[in-house]
Amino acid sequence: MSHKHHHTSACNPGEHKMWSRRDFLHTLGVTGGVGLAMGGFSLNALAAPLLTPPGGNDRILVLIRLKGGNDGLNTIIPIYDFGTYKNKRPTIYIPQSETWSLNQELAMPKTTSRLTKLWNNGAMKVISGVGYDNHNLSHFTSSDVWNSAKPEIESIEDKSGWLARYLLHQQPDYLENLPEIPGAIKVNSGSNIAFNNPDRIDLAVNFNTPDKLIEIAEKGFYYDTQSLPDDCYYGDQIGFLRSVLNVTYKYAPAISNAYKAGSNTVVYSNNALSQQLAIVAKLIKGGLGTKMYMVTLDGFDTHENQNTAHPQLMNQLASAVSEFYDDLGTEFNNDVLSLTFSEFGRRVAENNGGTDHGTAAPVMLFGNALQGSASLGKLPNLSQLDANGNLKHTTDFRSVYATLLESWLCLPPAAVDSILGDEFQRIDDLGLECLSSSTTNVPLLQGLTHQGRVAEDGSIFIQFEMQRPGHVRLELLAVTGQVIAMPVNGNLSEGVHQTMMGGQRLGLGNGMYIYRIETAGKSYSGKLIFVQ
């Protein structure tokens, strides 16, 4: 006997919770982002709109992913401790005669000599020792950490990407209110999660070559989102999936038209990264309007044969970046900022002609917007290593992200902290700035002035002024260090704040007390004399 069930449009909210859109996508086996595979051509769901930032109308961010774990010590060579570098890498170190100088402390291999033009023109910066605490040495997890800005990603439910959270901050209803242009594009960058929303849907258009997009744009395609199965649960999920797939088709014509309208004015090298950046240049010059791109150069997992593989990769990176900025020319050069990143660096000591997985590594930035070339960040110590023989980081990678979000994409400081989940020190000498329409000029770094006093009635007043918003903890302590009261522990806006505590109510005895204010990783303190 067969039973046929008829479902009405009424749905039990509890069952909806059990059968979520995320469950539906997992059931389909789509875990790396909703996509449609067509002849080796991967299309992913598209991005949210980018609201125009003040003073940053035409700004574009290009992420250059060095996949596999780039050896930072053979990229930015530590002249400042060349003896230790050479001793720990007797067969793979790069002799000083085969380098070009950034400054007295750092150099790069001559295989990257095509970057000298950018360095000499003030369009390149290097940040040394970038990483995070308790580094994860897995390719997959470390990649997720960098792309999510969440070192704890393995143990949390929200595995969204940091740039997806930026897009969603700009427009939370991105799927229901699609913009006219894509917010993000990945060229040959696979399933990394930088643009994944909390439902693990990739918000970037992802393709290897534009050929299939052009074909889709010319043929046209659309999934019907109205005539759905008469099942309130299954039908809802099918409608959701179709709407996501429709996003790709919606933007295929715009991408195709921009690609055809743009042109490359330089001859790009025949390597994967150069070809990817050639596509990005055409889309930018063709007027697409997309603000974020990601490209990928693979092959950096150099456990062996590093003397062969790494110099080739360095040459490809330098050639591609140099060609890209030559192609952009004066019309676009000021508006395109590029950033290299990798899931981790390599171990300091070599291992049979190669290097094992490491931790901290340099990050490079390119573009005229940097307003001068420089080496930033505290140089890592090649002798004081962690238990695995790896470098201890000196700059948290989220400080780099925070600075880009605030000073390049022009988000308010509080929004940056919300996206990254905490307040991270900004890098104030990157040279980037936002020309905000606001009359308030919010500085990059927290500064705090403070004073405390005891009134005649025994009331304790502590006043402080913050130069930027941030999390603040204010404590009153005995001289022995015991915390007596914590009147403030939360996020505050910039400006003047005052708190009052009753000394008698706190049971204070006559004597000296300390107040301590902690914010943005710094501590400020002052003394008070309480007399009843």
Nearby residues of 71 by Cβ (< 8 Å), 6 or more positions away: 300, 302, 306, 310, 345, 346, 355, 358, 361
Nearby residues of 27 by Cβ (< 8 Å), 6 or more positions away: none
- Over residues 5-16, the pLDDT tens digits come to 333 344 544 444
DSSP string, 90-110: TTT---GGGEEESSSSEEEEG
Nearest one of 411, 469, 412, 404 to 432, comparing CA atoms: 404
Q: Which has more pLDDT, 119 or 227?
A: 119
Q: Which has more pLDDT, 42 or 359?
A: 359
Q: Which has more pLDDT, 226 or 74?
A: 74
Across residues 26-31, what is the average pLDDT? 39
pLDDT of amino acid 214: 74
pLDDT of amino acid 175: 59
Across residues 141-153, what is the average pLDDT? 96
Report the 3 state secondary structure along 12-77. Answer: CHHHHHHCCHHHHHHHCCCCCCCEEEECCEEEECCCCCCCCCCCCCCCEEEEEEECCCCCHHHCCE
Q: Which has more pLDDT, 123 or 446?
A: 123
pLDDT of amino acid 177: 65
Q: Which helix (H) or strand (E) holds 119?
A: helix 116-120
Across residues 321-337, what is the average pLDDT? 96
Nearest one of 334, 319, 275 to 116, comparing CA atoms: 319
- Over residues 258-280, the pLDDT tens digits come to 999 999 999 999 999 999 999 99
- Angle 289-323-92 from CA coordinates, rounded to 5°: 125
pLDDT of amino acid 491: 87
**pLDDT > 90 in the chain, percent:** 59
Whole-number average pLDDT of the chain: 84
- Over residues 209-268, the pLDDT tens digits come to 877 777 766 665 555 556 666 666 556 666 666 655 555 677 788 888 999 999 999 999
- Over residues 386-435, the pLDDT tens digits come to 999 999 999 999 999 999 999 999 999 989 999 999 999 999 889 998 86
- Over residues 169-190, the pLDDT tens digits come to 887 876 566 667 888 999 988 7
Query: Could you tell me if 195 and 47 are in contact, meaning their C-beta atoms sit under 8 angstroms apart?
Result: yes
Across residues 88-92, what is the average pLDDT? 97
pLDDT of amino acid 117: 97
Predicted model pTM:
0.81
pLDDT of amino acid 178: 65
Flag whether pLDDT at 376 surpasses 80: yes
Flag whether pLDDT at 383 surpasses 60: yes
Determine the Cα–Cα distance for residues 113 and 319; give it in Å rounded to an integer: 9
Which tokens belong to 475?
């404590």
Neighbours of 95 (CB within 10 A): 10
Determine the Cα–Cα distance for residues 367 and 124; give it in Å rounded to an integer: 6
- Over residues 338-375, the pLDDT tens digits come to 999 999 999 999 998 999 999 999 999 999 999 999 99
pLDDT of amino acid 47: 35
Flag whether pLDDT at 38 surpasses 60: no
Written as one letter, the residue type at 402 is: A
- Over residues 466-518, the pLDDT tens digits come to 988 888 999 999 888 889 999 999 889 889 999 999 988 888 988 889 899 99
Dihedrals phi, psi of 179, to nearest 5 degrees: -80, 180
